[in-house]
A = this chain, B = another copy of it.
Amino acid sequence: MAPFDLTELADELGDGVLVTDADVVRSYSADQALFCPADGAIALVRARTVADVQATMRFATRHRVPVVPQGARTGLSGGANAVPGCLLLSLERMDRVLEVDAAERTVTVEPGIINQDLKDALAPHGLSYPPDPGSVAISSIGGNVATNAGGLCCVRYGVTRDYVRRLRVVLADGTLTTLGTTTAKGVAGLDLRSLFVGSEGTLGVVVEVTLRLVPTLPEPLTAVATFADIRSAAATVADLMASGAQPSLVESMDRATLQVLAECGYGDVGTGAGAMLLVQSDGSGSLEAAQAEVEALGRFAQAHGALDVAVSDDPADSAALVAMRRMAQPSFERWAQAHGGGQLLDDVCLPRTRLPEFYDRLETIRQESGLMIAVVAHAGDGNTHPSVFFDTSDPDSVARADAAFDAIMEVGLELGGTITGEHGVGHLKRRWLARELDEGSRRAHLAVKAALDPLGILNPGKMLAEL
């Protein structure tokens, strides 16, 4: 029996906030990562208010209970998964827009709001919040802040951190604090606000977020180029970005991805195509500038032997092509279900110029593993997402998938990249974080963690567990 009484916590929370029903607790115990443990939660707190979060953290501090903060549990690294003896602290019910300040171009929200819901709420104001992770329709702003989420438009518009002005955070001991300022500029003190962005629930619980906004993004031109192989597509991207172009979206899909999409009925680009490049340019609102960039893409693509290049200024075409790209992951999931069930999704970010070499190295890994590996990439940022497919019922297949997954990160580091561009470390890559960081950085990480969470109760066993 636990050395504390949960009714003590229940009494401090609003009605129905503390959930101990085992089935419900279990249903909140994992995000979307594979191969990450998720057992042992003792209860679920479905916070409705900042006071609920503070009471939870005060209780956790008193009794040294681990707390796992959660948003929409759409993460891909196990960062929101239960750990033994923990309280799951869900922020999904705190999902209000608190203030849209059109004059200052900021919005203040609770962390549980879904990214797309925020975008929809801003549209009538002529304002936009650009970051658009693949999970845009299902992931929460709090989760986006916790992982410093990226997305498709980052190549032009940056990542979550670039938009966070101010955070309200509940610290490990339950203290509520404000980090940063809503003003356009501000350098009063250490940038603890940025430190919390991407900290994956290991330093505190974000309970309010003020985001900088931009005017509604201009409609882009969309270009599609197909190639015989992904290497040519990657070389085209490297040339395009080195030319000074500033496209608003540069996505690539390899042969395996195109095949899975075609099999699932989400688009067929023809049998000859071994790769597809999807590029958008909004020219910052200038059609002329957008046309110039799209034409530049065409030239680079031709120089690298493109099979076909097509351009459209029809928003419906554009939306359909981006939708096709966004169907890659759901298609992978369907394909995996039909072929042994396993998909390990990687997230290696590389210098763009190393992309062709990366694909060469990946081909070797594919051959050695004997597994299907399909790669979509936010290619303009060098951020690749190789998926390794395997048979979950075959230990040998699982082992080969695991080895391939690791080999991909190893190549990423060798080529000057990072083990995670946008998905985060969570449980899945904690061992690899220790590989990427040098000794001084590892020590600094642990020192900062101990400073802000001296009892080690915030999301233990995750990001920082193997440093």
Q: Is A319 an interface residue (CB 8 A)?
A: no
- Residues of B near A214 (CB, < 8 A) are 246
**Are the CB atoms of A195 and B198 closer together than 8 Å?**
no
Q: Give the distance to chain B from A262, nearest Cβ to Cβ, in Å.
A: 29
**Are the CB atoms of A350 and B183 closer together than 8 Å?**
yes
Within 8 A of B (CB), among A425-467: 425, 429, 433, 436-441, 443-445, 447-452, 463-464
Q: With A and B bound together, what is the CA distance between A178 and B418 in angstroms?
A: 13
- Residues of B near A241 (CB, < 8 A) are 103, 105
Q: Give the distance to chain B from A103, nearest Cβ to Cβ, in Å.
A: 4
**Are the CB atoms of A447 and B440 closer together than 8 Å?**
no
**Are the CB atoms of A147 and B351 closer together than 8 Å?**
no
**A179 closest partner in B (C-beta):** B441
- Residues of B near A444 (CB, < 8 A) are 171, 177, 179, 192, 451-452
Within 8 A of B (CB), among A161-195: 161-162, 169, 171, 175-179, 181-192, 194-195
As a 0/1 sequence over residues 182 to 216 of chain A, the CB contacts with chain B under 8 angstroms (1 = contact) are 11111111111011011100110000000000111
**Are the CB atoms of A424 and B187 closer together than 8 Å?**
yes
Work out how many copies of this chain go into the complex: 2
Q: Among the listed B171, B283, B286, B463, which residue makes an inter-chain contact with A189, where contact means beta carbons less than 8 Å apart?
A: B463
Also in contact, A436 and B188, with CB within 8 A (given A162-B162, A286-B288, A441-B179): yes
- Residues of B near A197 (CB, < 8 A) are 191, 194
Also in contact, A159 and B188, with CB within 8 A (given A104-B353, A444-B452, A452-B447): no
**Are the CB atoms of B242 and A182 closer together than 8 Å?**
no
Within 8 A of B (CB), among A137-174: 147-148, 150, 154-155, 158-159, 161-162, 169, 171
Also in contact, A155 and B183, with CB within 8 A (given A191-B198, A199-B190): no
Q: Is A22 an interface residue (CB 8 A)?
A: no
Q: Is A118 an interface residue (CB 8 A)?
A: no
Q: With A and B bound together, what is the CA distance between A183 and B412 in angstroms?
A: 11
Q: Among the listed B147, B441, B452, which residue makes an inter-chain contact with A192, where contact means beta carbons less than 8 Å apart?
A: B441
Q: Is A252 an interface residue (CB 8 A)?
A: no
Which of A102, A417, A423, A441 gathers most chain B CB within 10 Å?
Answer: A441
Q: Is A421 an interface residue (CB 8 A)?
A: yes
Q: Among the listed B104, B188, B352, B417, which residue makes an inter-chain contact with A181, where contact means beta carbons less than 8 Å apart?
A: B417
- Residues of B near A188 (CB, < 8 A) are 418-420, 425, 429, 433, 436-437
Q: Give the distance to chain B from A76, nearest Cβ to Cβ, in Å.
A: 12
Q: Give the distance to chain B from A25, nearest Cβ to Cβ, in Å.
A: 28
As a 0/1 sequence over residues 246 to 258 of chain A, the CB contacts with chain B under 8 angstroms (1 = contact) are 1000000000000
**Are the CB atoms of A422 and B349 closer together than 8 Å?**
no
Q: Using C-beta atoms within 8 Å of the partner chain, give the interface range for chain A.
A: 35 or more
Also in contact, A198 and B187, with CB within 8 A (given A103-B238, A441-B177): yes
Q: With A and B bound together, what is the CA distance between A247 and B451 in angstroms?
A: 41
Q: Is A382 an interface residue (CB 8 A)?
A: yes
Q: Among the listed B171, B202, B423, which residue makes an inter-chain contact with A440, where contact means beta carbons less than 8 Å apart?
A: B171
**Are the CB atoms of B189 and A445 closer together than 8 Å?**
yes
Q: Give the distance to chain B from A190, nearest Cβ to Cβ, in Å.
A: 6
**A177 closest partner in B (C-beta):** B440
Q: Among the listed B158, B183, B202, which residue makes an inter-chain contact with A418, where contact means beta carbons less than 8 Å apart?
A: B183
Q: Give the distance to chain B from A237, nearest Cβ to Cβ, in Å.
A: 11
- Residues of B near A380 (CB, < 8 A) are 184
Q: With A and B bound together, what is the CA distance between A351 and B210 in angstroms?
A: 13
Beyond the given pairs A161-B194, A194-B194, 12 more chain A to chain B contacts, judged by CB atoms under 8 angstroms and listed by A's residue number, are A175-B439, A183-B383, A185-B349, A188-B418, A188-B436, A188-B437, A191-B197, A192-B195, A215-B246, A284-B285, A286-B286, A448-B448
Binding site for B on A (CB under 8 A): 101-105, 126, 147-148, 150, 154-155, 158-159, 161-162, 169, 171, 175-179, 181-192, 194-195, 197-199, 202-203, 214-216, 238, 241-242, 244, 246, 283-286, 288-289, 349-353, 378, 380-383, 416-425, 429, 433, 436-441, 443-445, 447-452, 463-464
